[in-house]
Structure 1
Amino acid sequence: MRYDELLDAIQADRARATEAEARRRLLVRSRQGRTGGLLGRAGRAWFRR
């Protein structure tokens, strides 16, 4: 694999990761509004594991 191909793969993977993180954060925020901050924080810690 050439270096620029590797770089493209890394950037695509990072973009996918940030997209998933943004979606997860949105999910956590919407859940937090309904159930309170404690569960939202616990859920975030659980996702990070």
Structure 2
Amino acid sequence: LIAKQHNIPRDNVKLYLAWHKQQQGNALSWFCQQLSNYPWQQVFSPS
């Protein structure tokens, strides 16, 4: 996951993720690991 700069301000959008636990493969494991390691506090804290 990378942060991209943009010039157009956007409204906040809710994001929902769902998957079947029975279908957990390497790609899903990698994706979940990336989400858990991302510095979310920096994203949601005011600058």
| TM-score tier (shorter) | 0.3 to 0.5
Which is bigger in relative contact order (C-alpha 8 A, separation at least 6)? 2
Q: Which has the larger radius of gyration?
A: 1
